[in-house]
Amino acid sequence: MTTLPNRTSSTVLAGMLAALLATVALAQTGVGGDDRPARVKPVKEVSVTDNSPVEDGAADQAERAARALGTATSEVWGMADGKRVRLHTLTNANGLVVKATDYGTIVTEVLVPDRKGRLADVVLGRATLADYVESNPYFGCTAGRCANRIAGGRFEIDGVEHRVATNNGPNHLHGGVKGFDKVVWDGRARMTPRGPTATFEYVSPAGEEGYPGTVRTIVNYTLTNDDELIVDMAATTDAKTPVNLAHHSYWNLAGHDGGSIAKHLLTIPASRYTPVDATMIPTGELASVEGTPLDFRKARSIASALEKLPGNGDDPGGVDHNFVLDRTPVDGRLWLSAVLEEPVSGRVMEVWSDQPGIQFYSGNFLDGIAGKSGASYRKHDGLCLETQAFPDSVNRQGKGGWPDVVLEPGSIYRHRMVHRFSTK
């Protein structure tokens, strides 16, 4: 977290909002050779719909330059909470497409090619905005204000207990009954020097879902011509509060309607994980993956783990665990967090991040929910790879090896996650 100088309250909030807006500039860098420490100067926007007068020939030149980066468009998709909701479409110069909506910042489609160049939509989702509002198991959203679980729906900050909703058995999950995934954000799509970008802003008032402090949040999606989907998240607060944001797409590199992900190959460079109790709350141990079904340090099929993690009673089985990443930074900032491969199509997705953990969830609770284009998503038809701080970290502040998730006034929460697509 970046700390800002002390100022008066109103000045601090204004300064923090400006700093958040500057975070958009982070999307100019990827995880390749140009991955340098973040710049904070604002991005110069390049509009592809600018109708202002131009000299003869300049319009054609501007259009060619814009096409070289891709396109960014928006359309009204419906209404939620009495607010207009838009769907934003980002297309890069290679034909990859990402669609995202103001509702929950949900990524509704990601179209990437297989080894023969054939495009497929590789994220699970629902058909319409109304469907998402009716029921959504966190498809494609930003989970927050505190992603993952908080034990007993309670935590203390400076000796004061705070209670939040218990919406997952006895525990709090992904921000509560109406977390960041179920609110309408202020979104816009535009062209930047890095590529088409959708930026979403939301102000979470103090007391929302039981959390202290007013939190201002920005989520930024950029689709680059290096075939990367960059997710940048940032937040500020006017009072101490836990902040742990996570991007929550369900992936199936065979296509969203491609059936089980069991034959996907997965690598997670993590020597340790956080064991959990019967309610999925970490025990506090940082245990070795050696000799467990959770050892993905070398690429292996997901089926090989699922076979050793069968269901039992109310437990559906499968993987839903946080991995403690072995952080080997690229230029001091990002590290490889996962590699997912679908052998038939040849699609590969690398995940890079600046976070200490990654939650691998194998879609254990998918129960036949209706998806896009008539698809029905069943158990293990999609998987999540969510870079984040460890679950229930707010209740383990100061414990060795556990991240600090309490955001303080004058500091900025930042989270970068990069999905790099390729084929083999």
Total domains, the chain: 1
**111: which strand partners?**
97, 121
**Pairwise CA distance, residues 310 & 303, whole Å:** 11
Active site residue 248: yes
**Pairwise CA distance, residues 393 & 391, whole Å:** 5
- Domain of 361: which CATH number? 2.70.98.10
Cα-based torsion angle of the residue sequence 224, 15, 107, 136 in order, rounded to the nearest 10 degrees: 170
- 241, 407 Cβ separation under 8 angstroms: yes
Q: Could you tell me which of 321, 341, 337 has the C-alpha nearest to residue 418?
A: 337
Counting as low any pLDDT under 50, the low residues of the chain are 4-14, 23-56
- 416, 354 Cβ separation under 8 angstroms: yes
Q: Match 């999905």 to its residue by tokens.
A: 419
DSSP code of 39? P
Which of 88, 172, 247, 248 does the annotation list as catalytic? 248
**Pairwise CA distance, residues 105 & 76, whole Å:** 14
**Pairwise CA distance, residues 351 & 390, whole Å:** 17
pLDDT of residue 9: 45
pLDDT of residue 311: 81
Q: Which domain holds residue 412?
A: 2-423
Q: Could you tell me which of 391, 163, 164, 161 has the C-alpha nearest to residue 283?
A: 391
- 366, 137 Cβ separation under 8 angstroms: yes
**Pairwise CA distance, residues 195 & 102, whole Å:** 19
Q: Could you tell me which of 183, 23, 193 has the C-alpha nearest to residue 105?
A: 183
Write the DSSP string, 143-198: E-SB-SEEGGGEEEETTEEEE----BTTBEETTSTT-GGGSB-EEEEEEETTEEEE
Instruction: Please name the residues in contact with 51: beta carbons below 8 A apart, sequence gap of 6 or more.
Output: none
Burial of 313 (0-12, 13-18, 19+ CB in 10 A): exposed
Residue 201's SS3 state is: strand
* Side chain identity at residue 51, one-letter code: N
**312: which strand partners?**
315
- 91, 67 Cβ separation under 8 angstroms: no
Active site residue 408: no
Which of 88, 162, 386, 419 does the annotation list as catalytic? 386
**367: which strand partners?**
378
- 308, 296 Cβ separation under 8 angstroms: no
